[in-house]
Amino acid sequence: MPIAVPSNGASTPKPKILIPEKVSLDGLALLQASFEVHEKKGLSAEELKAIIPEYEALIVRSETKVTADLLNAAKRLKVVARAGVGVDNVDVGSATKHGIIVVNSPVGNINAAAEHTIALLMAVARNIGDASSSIKAGKWERSRLVGVEAKGKTLAIVGLGKVGLTVARIANGLGMSLIAYDPYANPSLAAAASVTLRPALAELLKEADFLTLHTPLIASTKGMIGATELATMKNTARILNVARGGMIDEAALLDALNAGTIAGAGIDVFTSEPPEADSTASRLISHPKVVATPHLGASTVEAQENVSIDVCQQVIAILSGELPRSAVNAPIILPEEYRTLQPFVQLVEKMGSLYTQHYSPHINPSSKSFRTTFDLTYEGALATLNTTKPLFAALVKGLLTPITSSDGLNINIVNAEILAKERGILVNENRSRENVEDKPYSSFVTLRARTSRSTSQSRTPSPELKRTISQATIPQDQDDQVIQGFVSANKPYISRLDRFKGEFIPSGTLIICRNFDSCGKIGFVGSELGKAGVNIKFMNVAPLHEDEEGKEGDTEGNEALMILGVDRPVGDDVVKGLISEQGVLEVSVVTL
Ligand SMILES: NC(=O)C1=CN([C@@H]2O[C@H](COP(=O)(O)OP(=O)(O)OC[C@H]3O[C@@H](n4cnc5c(N)ncnc54)[C@H](O)[C@@H]3O)[C@@H](O)[C@H]2O)C=CC1
Ligand SMILES: O=C(O)C(=O)COP(=O)(O)O
């Protein structure tokens, strides 16, 4: 849910942002006005863990390991921003569970990575590394350092995404013949870049004069080029890796280079960075047939400017309660749609909270004794939006917040689905474009809870929910509870609560009384509250919905709800005093 940036009054501390790596000042300058920005390089994992509880945002590149352990220690963190593409150094699953948004900069350094790949291709083809060391050592070795041309050679690309396609376009200009393996590639983009797709990696490897890797480091790409794969390649083939170290088996590549079954390699990334002395990676780096760079793919002035501005803008958006444009673990929502959804997010959260507080102790949304299915129906203009995920998240937040300790869960669109699943909360979202013509507002939301007992044992009220006191019995199997609401002038209204219709603003402390719709009830409740020193700010009477009037069982005639907004929390003794022979049947106190 939105995160408010505290107003910058003298006494309100600015939210803190931690930057433990070198990130371009172009973006950081945008943060200075509203946030406290701490650049702290060279922190150990322990030092980082010790200070992370203070921070609301963490901006990293590839060096900082954002582990589950670090995220568990973070108390206020709302966003981890990766100033670059790869998020393999961030435990995204753990961030998601904590409701922490992970963002990256998916395009800012693409060109830099592609150009670096081409630089390594040329350097490997023309022995630039070896030749440079040789001449600096005072040698003049023209015949030993004869290279090969790129023109006419086959460049085999694994991973035809943003970097892969950019490499293809540049290599096309060099006169190379292009093939690629990527099971998820867009065939028309491939064709437009003159790339022929191969259905299997094995086929691609056999044909490659140059092999270049451009996939993310994920389970299916880890170790994808090992001894078996290298053995199928031409002796004259050269390998480039500007993606991630773990994708090539470094020991197998070193063996192949030593055996002369692979002609050379250009490597920017390593399994462990920086590589340890005397490791396989360090032997690869010093190999004469290898041109190596220290993870420089994204290290251009232009790329660093781009990614820094990109992620800093997203951090500002998130800490200001808006959605980022490149969230790795949250849905992308168009700004226009987000603006439309905002007041309904508030409404649906209130509906969820009202549900949990008003119907407890009968029903706890995450109770094991009852199985409750929530139908959330959007009517009218809301039904036409592409995504309603913020509304789903708002419902889960509303349902769970009243029964969760305040320092407990940070519930938002990032983790709402996981939390709902963990707690067995089932929500069906429905869209209906019907029935709005006869209603005064363009969008309505209806929450219908269908509860059935999942065990025969009767349930004791959950201790967190004992604020509701009632003469009523636990609802019978299959009873439905209905809460309906709408938004007017950006304010949420509840327009129906179960069998009763009546408009009230779900805000502050509300006393909801169910009583027989007969004379004297208002006076009785008013005088009881007066005796207790409770001031009534507003009062609404919600009669029975027309479908319900005069139903069987209403022995004293119809019932009504009385909703009173009061100026202070109301004790159980006052509530008990209201339930009486005077015809007040049930009372609940909710804080919204
Ligand atoms: N060395 C450096 O400084 C830099 C490295 N990178 C790395 O480059 C890599 C690619 O980046 P982008 O092109 O932006 O990503 P992308 O997401 O646009 O493209 C990745 C492509 O890999 C494909 N792919 C996924 N699994 C595959 C598999 N098992 N086999 C074949 N293809 C597979 C996907 O379908 C996708 O088309 C990332 O690992 C990123 O971290 C990016 C920028 C700078
Ligand atoms: O963007 C990427 O994926 C990169 O690998 C760039 O890493 P860096 O930000 O230079 O540490």
User: Do residues 403 and 366 touch, judged by C-beta distance below 8 A?
Assistant: yes
Terminus-to-terminus CA distance in the chain, angstroms?
A: 16
Cα–Cα distance, 247 to 215 (Å, whole number) = 9
Cα–Cα distance, 293 to 123 (Å, whole number) = 11
CA 569 to chain centre: 36
**Is 198 an active-site residue?**
no
> Does the beta carbon of 221 sit less than 6 angstroms from any atom of ligand 1?
yes
Taking only the tens of pLDDT, the chain with its 592 residues reads 444 444 454 568 999 999 999 999 999 999 999 999 999 999 999 999 999 999 999 999 999 999 999 999 999 999 999 999 999 999 999 999 999 999 999 999 999 999 999 999 999 999 999 999 999 999 999 999 999 999 999 999 999 999 999 999 999 999 999 999 999 999 999 999 999 999 999 999 999 999 999 999 999 999 999 999 999 999 999 999 999 999 999 999 999 999 999 999 999 999 999 999 999 999 999 999 999 999 999 999 999 999 999 999 999 999 998 888 899 998 878 878 888 898 999 999 999 999 999 986 555 555 555 678 999 999 988 888 888 999 999 999 999 988 876 555 678 889 999 988 888 889 999 998 765 566 667 788 999 998 776 544 433 333 233 223 333 333 444 468 999 999 998 899 999 998 899 899 999 999 999 888 777 778 888 888 988 889 999 998 888 876 655 554 444 557 889 999 999 888 888 888 888 766 788 899 999 9
Which residues are CB-contacts of 11 (< 8 A; sequence separation ≥ 6)? Answer: none
Cα–Cα distance, 490 to 402 (Å, whole number) = 24
**Tokens, residue 11:** 């006494």
Residue tagged active-site, from 54, 273, 429, 548: 273
Same fold, 110-292 and 333-498: no
Homologous superfamily of the 333-498 domain (CATH): D-3-phosphoglycerate dehydrogenase; domain 3 (3.30.1330.90)
> Does the beta carbon of 308 sit less than 6 angstroms from any atom of ligand 2?
no
**Is 568 an active-site residue?**
no
Task: Give per-residue pLDDT as tens, 346-389.
Answer: 999 999 999 999 986 555 555 555 678 999 999 988 888 888 99
> Does the beta carbon of 61 sit less than 6 angstroms from any atom of ligand 2?
yes
User: Do residues 577 and 532 touch, judged by C-beta distance below 8 A?
Assistant: yes
Cα–Cα distance, 232 to 408 (Å, whole number) = 54
501-592: in CATH 3.30.70.260: yes
Q: Ligand 1: which atom is nearest the Cα of residue 88?
A: 41
**Is 244 an active-site residue?**
yes
| pLDDT score for 370 | 61
**Tokens, residue 67:** 């582990």
Fold observed for domain 110-292: Rossmann fold (3.40.50)
For the chain, what are the domain ranges? 16-108+303-319, 110-292, 333-498, 501-592
| pLDDT score for 142 | 98
Burial class (CB in 10 A: 0-12, 13-18, 19+), 166: buried
Q: Ligand 2: which atom is nearest the Cα of residue 244?
A: 5
Out of 3.40.190.80, 3.20.20.150, 1.20.1440.120, 3.40.50.720, select the CATH number for domain 16-108+303-319.
3.40.50.720
User: Do residues 591 and 566 touch, judged by C-beta distance below 8 A?
Assistant: no
Burial class (CB in 10 A: 0-12, 13-18, 19+), 543: middle
DSSP state letters, 493-561: EEEEETTEEEEE---SEEEEEEEESSTTHHHHHHHHHHHTTPPEEEEEEEEB-GGGTT-TT-TTS-EEE
Confidence check on the interface: ipTM exceeds 0.90, yes or no: yes
β-pairing, 79-82 vs 101-104, is parallel
Buried/exposed 433-454: b ≥16 CB within 10 Å, e otherwise: eeebeeeeeebbbbbbbbbebe
Cα–Cα distance, 579 to 564 (Å, whole number) = 15
Residue tagged active-site, from 244, 358, 496, 514: 244
> Which ligand is the nearest neighbour of the Cα of 304?
2
Neighbours of 240 (CB within 10 A): 27
Find, among 471, 445, 487, the residue nearest to 355 by Cα.
Answer: 445
Cα angle 37, 42, 44; round to 5: 105
Cα–ligand 2 centroid distance for 205 (angstroms) = 26
User: Do residues 495 and 485 touch, judged by C-beta distance below 8 A?
Assistant: yes
> Does the beta carbon of 214 sit less than 6 angstroms from any atom of ligand 1?
yes
CA dihedral 156, 158, 163, 164 (to 10 degrees): 40
Task: Give per-residue pLDDT as tens, 395-408.
Answer: 999 999 888 765 55
3-class SS of residue 106:
coil
> Does the beta carbon of 217 sit less than 6 angstroms from any atom of ligand 2?
no
CA dihedral 90, 56, 94, 21 (to 10 degrees): 10
Find, among 38, 75, 76, 44, the residue nearest to 59 by Cα.
Answer: 38
> Does the beta carbon of 85 sit less than 6 angstroms from any atom of ligand 1?
yes
